[in-house]
Amino acid sequence: MDLVIRLDGTGEKTVGVYRALREAIVDGRLPEGHRLPATRVLAADLGVARNTVATAYERLVAEGYLTARVGAGTFVASVHAAAAPLSQAAGARPLQPRPGWTFAPLPTSADLPTPRYDFRTGIPDAHLFPFDTWRRLVAAEVRLRANSPGTYAEPSGHPALRAAIARYLGYGRGVRAAAADVLVTNGTQHALDLIGRVLLRRGDVVAVEEPGYPSARRLFASLGARVTGVPVDTEGLVVDALPGNTRLVYATPSHQFPLGHTMSLARRHALLDWAGRRQAAVVEDDYDSEFRFSARPLEPLYTLDTVGRVLYVGTFSKSMLPTVRTGFVLPPPALREALVAARQLGDGYGQMAVQAALARFIDEGRLARHVRTAAKVYRERHDRIAAALTGCGQLDVVPSAAGLHVTALLRAGGPARAAKVTAAALARGVAFDDLSQYVQESATLTAGFVFGLGAAGAGSIDAGLAIFTDLVRSIR
């Protein structure tokens, strides 16, 4: 890669080259070990004499910024200097986010050390995934595109993947859809962002489940919506508690997150009827319904919808891996064009090689086989964790028939006790989620714990649960 430096002003050119190179080294644009161009090459690029560059190099070597190796070249030395702050004109203010933007990045699993006993949620077991097969499929698609013209792809996604998703949902979820109904996204959050940008105005009311998925709540709020929590009971989201001016309802009816309830058929019809009367949209997040431990699930809201109120959202982050970064949304026909345009304006079209490989992964039956294999493992972990939590004697396990987590409620002690147990367990290497982190309104705070199934290795489940149950019995 060519080295680009600017020679400003009318001063001595040797000094200008020296200063430009030194600044590039100090602020990190030229990293340690980087090989600089030959003096002849850089002099030609800058339009200066070769001796000008050679003199600047010699001065930087003498000051320790560069090292010269005979027969090898000139390299950036190890320099421990902080980059100079951006200069500010007198009275100038630094750029600030728009009013109302109060969101900071949340820590991710990559930012934190891996606990010895890992029951964190949202993490599938990577050891179950057929990496060799996936690597072969992706590599084949990358090679195929190496000789193709450099054209832009369809913003709605790779045609083969859209068709494969439609077939997969039709077989596994009873969803009647064609390829034209599917918009491929970079996961659920991307789908929600597109939906919010197309449907919501600043100040619109968005109803989310309480407790519920925090990232959806944060995303809608970041778009300027007024997000309100709606209680959940054993039949799912309580429709009668929805604010009358709600513009959009976000729900997880197949496997409520984090409690695990399945929305009853009567409640599904009630929600659709309410949305029809109020002219509201319903986002159905079917995030991990592939992993079922009992009878087939109820029909999705999308299938029951007869007037075009439901947007069906899904992801492959749980059934495959988060790094696949692929999801989808099935919108009503009236919203398709706007959502495709929003996708095109935002990031274009995604990773075509990955999308094409995923289409083959689905159509060759490999995804279905992987899900069947993983579901058996997750069911065994689900049962082991649920049995240990029940045997503790101080917890009520919330019944669930699907998914990658188990939730248990404290019978006594409240949120303060739950927080103490969570902190004490983490200090001993046992990580899980305090239920309070999924609650927005403190008045509805329920004390409990959420245990993920994916990251918990089979050999560490029992030992981690033993530590946890001992703490629950001892902490008041």
CATH no. of 109-124+369-474? 3.90.1150.10
Sign, Cα dihedral of 95, 98, 101, 102: positive
User: What pLDDT is stored for residue 242 in this prediction?
Assistant: 97
DSSP 322: G
- Tell me the three state secondary structure of residue 303: helix
476 vs 465: CA distance, rounded Å = 18
- Full pLDDT tens readout for the chain, 476 residues: 556 666 665 557 888 899 889 988 988 888 899 999 999 998 888 888 999 999 999 999 999 999 998 888 999 998 654 444 455 556 677 888 888 888 888 777 666 778 899 999 989 999 999 999 999 999 999 988 877 766 788 999 999 999 999 999 998 888 999 999 999 999 999 999 999 999 999 999 999 999 999 999 999 999 999 999 999 999 999 999 999 999 999 999 998 999 988 999 999 999 999 999 999 999 999 987 788 776 666 789 999 999 999 999 999 999 999 989 999 999 999 999 999 999 999 988 889 999 999 999 999 999 999 999 999 999 999 999 999 999 999 999 998 877 889 999 999 888 899 999 999 999 999 999 999 999 987 555 679 999 999 988 778 899 999 999 999 999 98
Q: Is the pTM of this model over 0.85?
A: no
- Tell me the three state secondary structure of residue 279: coil
User: What pLDDT is stored for residue 82 in this prediction?
Assistant: 44
Highest CATH level, class, for 13-76: mainly alpha
Q: Which two tokens stand for residue 151?
A: 């054209």
**Range 5-22 burial, b when 16+ CB lie within 10 A, else e:** bebeeeeebbebbbbbbb
Q: Which of 395, 408, 420, 394 is nearest to 452 (CA)?
A: 408
13-76 against 109-124+369-474: fold identical: no
415 vs 213: CA distance, rounded Å = 19
CATH architecture of the domain formed by 129-364: 3-Layer(aba) Sandwich (3.40)
Q: Which of 225, 203, 286, 275 is nearest to 251 (CA)?
A: 286
Task: Show me where the domains of the chain are located.
Answer: 13-76, 109-124+369-474, 129-364
Q: How far is CA 231 from CA 140, 206, 256, 439, in A?
A: 48, 14, 12, 10
User: What pLDDT is stored for residue 59 in this prediction?
Assistant: 92
User: What pLDDT is stored for residue 113 in this prediction?
Assistant: 79
